[in-house]
Amino acid sequence: MSESAMHESAPAGSAPAEPAVSEPAVSEPAVTEPAVTEPAMPESAMSEPAVTESAMSESLAAPAESAAAPAESAAAPAESAAVPAGPLVAETGSPAVRARSLGARAAALDAADELAGRRELFALDDDSVYLDGNSLGALPRHVPERLQEVIGRQWGELRIRSWTESGWWEAPERIGDRIAPLVGAGPGRIVVGDSTSVNVFKAVVAAVRLAGPGRDEILVDATTFPTDGYMARSAARMTGGRIVPVAPAELPGALGPRTAVALVNHVDFRSGRLHDLPGITAAVHEAGALALWDLCHSAGALPVGLDEHGVDLAVGCTYKYLNGGPGAPAFLYVAERHQDRFDSPLPGWNSHADPFAMTGDFAAAEGAVRGRVGTPDILSMLALEAALDVWAGVTVEAVREKSLALTDFFLECVEAYAPPGRVASLTPAAHAERGSQVALRCAEAPLVMETLIARGIVGDLRRPDLLRFGFTPLYVGFADTERAARVLGEVLREVPAGPLA
């Protein structure tokens, strides 16, 4: 099965809505960001859990080193989100005793979870555990009804009038302003549209043009998801630049007077390693270059702080932690200080200062609108807008706290349930270096993931040997987490062991 050309697909051997995941590829610190204040959604009122960091055994706490996930430092986010302290049960008691102990803790954590009520907003069942939101987020229940209104009334009755009367024309900027608080950006800095790949191309070329003469080197995260590398190389051909692949940990040492821009992933898509956005951005600026960040695995999962940390440009997808739906439009962030000089390599009629003048000469619009190209995909865009309603009253900080607690608990449960030596975590144990997923190396990964999915535990696979589990705190709970680890342990006992390199 092959991976789609979009910025990541879904689990191996599963539903048609989520293309195969067996393809390999190369594409936060706590920062106070405002909550999104969209219309209130129903939510159960629950108190916040008291949390302290739990111990994890060495085999899972110390991630294996690999070229795909270089070790590096990151500014530390709050450490308060770990699982409540308790004895690690990996080596004591029978399997039944361990399961009862971890199951009881999961129930207590769910009862105290202030975000638990959000799960009701999603189209999920109790027969499966969905841990692939880092590839495709779950469907918010109200989106189909919203789309029916868009199709039936706005398109079916108002037709062309909806470009003005239903606000279709302003949708890319309006929805961008709703995403902005989730990534620490002010209004007027984000435009929604096109794919992540297209936005990477626009941003890299624009960055080289902003950098000016004499700066022809484009530093690219060597562990990146492949589309970023493909687009960067094309941008280099267009601008006469040179690609310099570099591991994020080594990036500060690779900067120089010829560096135009550094393109870096905030979270490594394979390992879940969180890179040091504030530190790397500061180093890039000290060298006189621009910092361009890919937020596909962090937007909606953890605080980003684009404005606070002085990021120049950023791109991200909306179908993962933002739950915008398959193929949902991506977003492009342009810092306010660069907007009047942002020179897109794809100037379309939607980014013209007067699009309906239909003149032969191009005059760029003001602001982030310069990032637009052609007519927006209204159905996908308005599905995304509706999906963002689930963020009403939720802060990114609360999501991050639960994310760390979930991944801590999962690692502990895996240590308790998995046969010794069968899996090893690539995901850093340190909170400051961890995104919202756990990646486990497993020699029998393809068969293990296929079996897990058949038993209702939906994660995904990165060949040859990575099991990935994404934790979306708006709809994943602690009982889900314990169940996933328990079933993983059962499957590992059934699947014959192979050599783990």
Is 320 catalytic? The answer is yes
Catalytic residue among 98, 178, 400, 468: 468
Rounded Cα gap, residues 409 and 415, in angstroms: 10
Please state, as a whole number, how many other Cβ atoms lie within 10 Å of the Cβ of residue 44: 12
Within 13 Å and on the Cβ side, how many CA atoms surround 297? 30
Q: Which of 319, 321, 342, 409 is catalytic?
A: 319
- Catalytic residue from among 177, 294, 312, 408: 294
Q: Which of 189, 320, 372, 441 is catalytic?
A: 320
Q: Is 225 a catalytic residue?
A: yes
Residue 468 annotated to the active site? yes
Write the DSSP symbol of residue 305: -
Quick check: bond before 464 cis, omega within 30?
A: yes
Q: Which one-letter amino acid corresponds to residue 211?
A: A
- Residue 283's CB is within 10 A of a number of other CB atoms, namely 18
Distance CA 14, CA 427 (A): 24
Cα 273–Cα 274–Cα 278 angle in degrees, nearest 5: 155
- The size of the chain, in residues, is 501
3-state secondary structure of 425: strand
Where do runs of H (alpha helix) occur along 287-432? 378-387, 396-417
- Residue 457 near residue 488, CB atoms below 8 Å: yes
Antiparallel, parallel or unpaired: β 290-294 and 259-265: parallel
294 counts as catalytic: yes
Max CA separation in the chain (angstroms): 77
Strands 466-470 and 313-316, sheet pairing = unpaired
DSSP state for residue 434 in the 8-state scheme: B
Residue 291: closest CA among 304, 269, 306, 303: 306
The dihedrals phi and psi of 394, each to the nearest 5 degrees, come to -110, 135
Burial state string for 320-350 with b = 16 or more CB within 10 A and e = fewer than 16: bbbbbbbbbbbbbbbbeebbeebebbbbeeb
Helices within 357-395 (DSSP H only): 378-387
- Amino acid identity of residue 148, one-letter, is Q
Considering 122, 130, 201, 225, which one is annotated as catalytic? 225
Strand 331-334, strand 190-192: pairing: antiparallel
Q: What are phi and psi for residue 104, nearest 5 degrees? A: -65, -40
Residue pair 242/216 in contact by the 8 Å Cβ criterion = yes
Q: Please tell me the distance from the alpha carbon of residue 457 to that of residue 481, in angstroms, as a whole number.
A: 10
E strand or H helix at 422, and its extent? none
Tokens representing 378 are 């209204």
Which residues are designated catalytic?
A: 225, 294, 319-320, 468
